[in-house]
Amino acid sequence: MKENAINIANDFSRFPAGRYESDGPFNGEKFRRKILVPSLQDGKSIIVELDGTAGYGSSFLEEAFGGLIRVEHLRPDVVIKQIHLKSADASLVEEIKGYILSAK
Protein backbone atom coordinates (compact mmCIF):
# COMPACT_ATOMS: atom_id res chain seq x y z
CA MET A 1 0.00 0.00 0.00
CA LYS A 2 1.35 3.43 -0.92
CA GLU A 3 1.91 5.76 1.99
CA ASN A 4 -0.96 8.19 2.52
CA ALA A 5 -2.99 6.69 -0.31
CA ILE A 6 -5.60 3.97 -0.17
CA ASN A 7 -6.91 2.46 -3.35
CA ILE A 8 -9.94 0.48 -2.25
CA ALA A 9 -9.87 -1.86 -5.27
CA ASN A 10 -6.17 -2.69 -4.86
CA ASP A 11 -5.71 -2.45 -1.09
CA PHE A 12 -9.02 -3.91 0.08
CA SER A 13 -11.26 -5.51 -2.55
CA ARG A 14 -12.77 -4.94 -5.96
CA PHE A 15 -16.00 -6.30 -4.46
CA PRO A 16 -16.62 -4.41 -1.22
CA ALA A 17 -19.91 -5.61 0.24
CA GLY A 18 -21.92 -5.51 3.41
CA ARG A 19 -21.97 -3.43 6.53
CA TYR A 20 -20.85 -5.65 9.40
CA GLU A 21 -18.19 -8.34 9.88
CA SER A 22 -20.96 -10.95 9.70
CA ASP A 23 -21.97 -9.79 6.20
CA GLY A 24 -18.90 -11.03 4.34
CA PRO A 25 -15.11 -10.74 4.14
CA PHE A 26 -14.95 -7.24 2.61
CA ASN A 27 -17.50 -5.31 4.65
CA GLY A 28 -17.58 -1.63 5.66
CA GLU A 29 -16.81 -2.26 9.31
CA LYS A 30 -13.63 -4.17 8.41
CA PHE A 31 -12.53 -1.50 5.94
CA ARG A 32 -12.97 1.16 8.61
CA ARG A 33 -11.20 -0.75 11.39
CA LYS A 34 -8.36 -2.34 9.43
CA ILE A 35 -7.63 0.29 6.78
CA LEU A 36 -9.13 3.71 7.52
CA VAL A 37 -8.57 4.08 11.26
CA PRO A 38 -4.87 3.05 11.23
CA SER A 39 -4.25 5.34 8.25
CA LEU A 40 -5.77 8.32 10.04
CA GLN A 41 -3.70 7.95 13.19
CA ASP A 42 -1.26 10.73 14.09
CA GLY A 43 -3.38 13.24 12.18
CA LYS A 44 -2.08 12.08 8.81
CA SER A 45 -3.94 13.07 5.64
CA ILE A 46 -4.88 10.31 3.24
CA ILE A 47 -6.14 10.04 -0.30
CA VAL A 48 -8.88 7.44 -0.73
CA GLU A 49 -9.28 6.32 -4.33
CA LEU A 50 -12.75 4.94 -4.89
CA ASP A 51 -12.59 3.89 -8.56
CA GLY A 52 -11.88 0.38 -9.78
CA THR A 53 -14.40 -1.59 -7.75
CA ALA A 54 -17.55 -3.31 -9.03
CA GLY A 55 -19.62 -0.65 -7.28
CA TYR A 56 -20.59 0.33 -3.75
CA GLY A 57 -23.62 -0.16 -1.62
CA SER A 58 -24.50 2.85 0.52
CA SER A 59 -24.55 0.57 3.57
CA PHE A 60 -20.82 -0.16 3.06
CA LEU A 61 -20.02 3.54 2.57
CA GLU A 62 -22.02 4.64 5.60
CA GLU A 63 -20.49 2.02 7.87
CA ALA A 64 -16.95 2.73 6.66
CA PHE A 65 -16.99 6.53 6.63
CA GLY A 66 -19.98 7.51 8.79
CA GLY A 67 -18.71 4.94 11.31
CA LEU A 68 -15.58 7.03 11.83
CA ILE A 69 -17.78 9.53 13.64
CA ARG A 70 -20.58 7.28 14.94
CA VAL A 71 -18.39 4.42 16.22
CA GLU A 72 -14.79 5.69 16.38
CA HIS A 73 -15.90 9.08 17.76
CA LEU A 74 -13.64 11.14 15.47
CA ARG A 75 -14.63 14.74 14.79
CA PRO A 76 -16.39 15.30 11.45
CA ASP A 77 -14.51 18.52 10.66
CA VAL A 78 -11.17 16.77 11.30
CA VAL A 79 -12.09 13.72 9.22
CA ILE A 80 -13.23 15.89 6.30
CA LYS A 81 -9.86 17.65 6.35
CA GLN A 82 -7.85 14.43 6.67
CA ILE A 83 -9.57 12.33 4.00
CA HIS A 84 -9.28 13.38 0.37
CA LEU A 85 -11.73 11.38 -1.70
CA LYS A 86 -10.86 10.72 -5.30
CA SER A 87 -13.30 9.38 -7.91
CA ALA A 88 -14.55 10.02 -11.43
CA ASP A 89 -18.02 9.69 -9.90
CA ALA A 90 -18.81 12.93 -8.06
CA SER A 91 -21.97 11.38 -6.58
CA LEU A 92 -19.87 8.96 -4.51
CA VAL A 93 -17.77 11.79 -3.10
CA GLU A 94 -20.90 13.81 -2.24
CA GLU A 95 -22.54 10.83 -0.60
CA ILE A 96 -19.53 9.99 1.58
CA LYS A 97 -19.07 13.61 2.67
CA GLY A 98 -22.74 13.59 3.65
CA TYR A 99 -22.21 10.51 5.83
CA ILE A 100 -19.22 12.06 7.57
CA LEU A 101 -20.94 15.37 8.22
CA SER A 102 -24.31 13.96 9.30
CA ALA A 103 -23.21 10.95 11.37
CA LYS A 104 -24.00 11.12 15.08
Partner 1 sequence: MPSAEIVEKFVTWALVILGWFIIGRDQDRRARRTEVRDSLKSTSQLIIQIEDAAQSYWKLTGDDPESDAAALKLKFSLKQLSGEVVALCRHDVRFGLFIPVATFRKAATGGEFEVKTRKAETRNSQRLVDICSAGLDLREGLAHAFNEVYC
Contact 8, 31 (CB under 8 A): yes
- Among residues 1, 4, 14, 15, the one that binds partner 1 under rule CB under 8 A: 15
24 binds partner 1, rule: CB under 8 A:
yes
Q: Between 19 and 32, name the residue whose CB sits nearer to partner 1.
A: 19
Out of 1, 55, 72, 75, the residue judged to bind partner 1 by CB under 8 A: 55
Does position 88 interact with partner 1 (CB under 8 A)? The reply is yes
DSSP 6-32: EEHHHHT-SS---SSGGG-TT-HHHII
Contact between residue 26 and residue 54 where contact means Cβ atoms under 8 Å apart: no
State the minimum distance, in angstroms, from the CB of residue 37 to partner 1: 21
Which parts of this chain interact with partner 1 (CB under 8 A)?
15, 17-20, 22-24, 27, 54-60, 62, 88-92, 94-95, 98
